[in-house]
C-alpha cells in the first residue's frame, strides 16, 4: 500500500509552457506552482533517496517549500493555483512526516520497492509467530491475574519486566535496521535488494512487538 502520490502531472507549465517532468512543485523556468508531482517523497524535497537522511537538509527543504506554499502567497491566485497549492501542501506535509521518522522512512522505502506491506506478501515466519504468541500469552496471564485481584504488586512487577524485555527487543530491532541502511544507500542493485529483504523481516517483527508494548502499557495504565 505504498502511498504513491497520485496526480495529473501537467505536461507543460501553464505559465511559461516549459515541459514539466513531474518532479517539482514549482516550474524551474518561471517559478509558477505546479500540481502535485508523481515522484517519490525524497524527490519532493530534491533529496536523493537515502535512509541515512541528512535531517538538516530535510528541515531546510521542508521549511523552504512551506514558505513558498504559504496561503498568503495565493490570496490573489486563480482557483486552479489555489487548489494546487493546497494539494502540494498536503503532499509536502505527508512527505515530511514520513521521511522525518527513521522507522516510517524505512517502511516507506520498503513499500516503494514492493518488498513489504500490501496484500499478497509472504506470510509471517512461523518462529516469529510462535514467539509473539508466547509473549502475548504471558501478558494475558498477568492481565487475568490482575483482574482476578491476585497480588497486585507482584503482577505489576511481572508486567513491567515483560514490557522492559519486549521494549528492549524493539530497540535491538531498530539497531539492526539502522545497520542495514548503509547497504541500501550505497550498495549495488543486489546488495540493495538483500538489504530490503532483511529490513522487511525486521520491520514486520517490530510491528508485532511494538503492538505488544502498547498492550502492556494499556494494562498497566488500567
Partner 1 sequence: MRAGAAGLAVWPRWRPVHDNGELKSGETTMAYSEKVVDHYNNPRNVGTLDKNSAEVGTGLVGAPECGDVMRLQIRVNAETQVIEEAKFKTFGCGSAIASSSLATEWIQGRTIDDALSIKNTDIVKELSLPPVKIHCSVLAEDAIRAAIGDWRKKNGAE
Residues forming contacts to partner 1 in the complex (CB under 8 A) are 1, 98, 103-104, 107, 117, 121, 123-124, 126, 128-130, 132-133, 136-137, 140, 143-144, 147-148, 204, 207-212, 214-215
Find the Cα–Cα–Cα–Cα dihedral 213, 214, 220, 222, rounded to 10°: -160
Comparison of 148 and 188: residue with beta carbon closer to partner 1: 148
Which cell numbers hold the place of 220? 498497566
- The entry of Zn ion, partner 1, none near residue 138 (CB within 5 to 8 angstroms by kind) is none
- The entry of partner 1, Zn ion, none near residue 104 (CB within 5 to 8 angstroms by kind) is partner 1
Comparison of 83 and 176: residue with beta carbon closer to partner 1: 176
Comparison of 72 and 127: residue with beta carbon closer to partner 1: 127
Cα–Cα distance measured from residue 113 to residue 50, given in angstroms and rounded to the nearest whole number: 13
Q: According to CB under 5 A, which one of 18, 90, 161, 179 is a site residue for Zn ion?
A: 18
As measured in angstroms, the least distance from the Cβ of 115 to partner 1 is: 13
- The entry of partner 1, Zn ion, none near residue 15 (CB within 5 to 8 angstroms by kind) is Zn ion
Interaction of residue 27 with Zn ion, rule CB under 5 A: yes
As measured in angstroms, the least distance from the Cβ of 15 to partner 1 is: 35
Cα–Cα distance measured from residue 199 to residue 104, given in angstroms and rounded to the nearest whole number: 12
Cβ distance 92 to 65 under 8 Å? yes
Q: Would you tell me how many other CB atoms lie within 10 Å of the CB of residue 173?
A: 20
Comparison of 30 and 164: residue with beta carbon closer to Zn ion: 30
Cα–Cα distance measured from residue 146 to residue 155, given in angstroms and rounded to the nearest whole number: 6
Q: What are phi and psi of 144, to 5 degrees?
A: -60, -40
Taking the alpha carbons of 62, 63, 64, 69 in that order, is the dihedral positive or negative?
A: positive
Cα–Cα distance measured from residue 166 to residue 207, given in angstroms and rounded to the nearest whole number: 12
Question: Using CB under 5 A as the criterion, which residues of the chain lie in contact with Zn ion when the complex forms?
Answer: 13, 15-16, 18, 27, 29-30, 32
Amino acid at each position: 500500500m505504498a502511498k504513491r502520490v497520485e496526480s495529473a502531472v501537467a505536461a507543460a507549465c501553464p505559465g511559461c509552457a516549459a515541459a514539466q517532468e513531474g518532479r517539482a512543485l514549482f516550474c524551474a523556468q518561471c517559478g509558477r506552482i505546479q500540481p502535485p508531482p508523481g515522484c517519490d517523497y525524497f524527490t519532493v524535497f530534491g533529496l536523493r533517496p537515502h535512509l541515512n537522511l541528512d535531517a538538516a537538509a530535510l528541515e531546510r527543504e521542508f521549511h523552504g517549500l512551506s514558505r513558498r506554499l504559504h496561503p498568503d502567497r495565493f490570496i490573489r491566485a486563480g482557483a486552479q493555483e489555489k487548489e494546487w497549492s493546497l494539494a502540494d501542501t498536503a503532499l509536502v506535509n505527508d512527505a515530511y512526516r514520513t521521511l522525518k521518522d527513521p522507522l516510517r522512512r524505512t517502511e516507506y522505502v520498503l513499500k516503494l520497492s514492493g518488498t513489504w506491506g500490501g496484500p499478497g506478501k509472504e506470510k509471517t515466519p512461523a518462529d516469529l509467530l510462535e514467539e509473539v504468541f508466547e509473549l502475548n500469552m504471558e501478558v494475558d496471564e498477568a492481565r487475568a491475574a490482575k483482574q482476578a485481584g491476585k497480588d497486585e504488586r507482584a503482577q505489576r512487577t511481572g508486567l513491567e519486566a515483560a514490557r522492559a524485555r519486549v521494549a528492549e527487543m524493539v530497540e535491538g530491532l531498530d539497531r539492526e535496521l539502522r545497520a542495514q541502511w548503509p547497504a541500501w544507500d550505497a550498495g549495488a542493485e543486489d546488495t540493495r535488494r538483500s538489504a530490503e529483504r532483511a529490513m522487511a523481516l525486521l520491520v514486520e517483527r517490530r510491528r508485532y512487538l511494538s503492538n505488544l508494548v502498547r498492550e502492556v502499557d494499556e494494562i498497566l495504565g488500567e
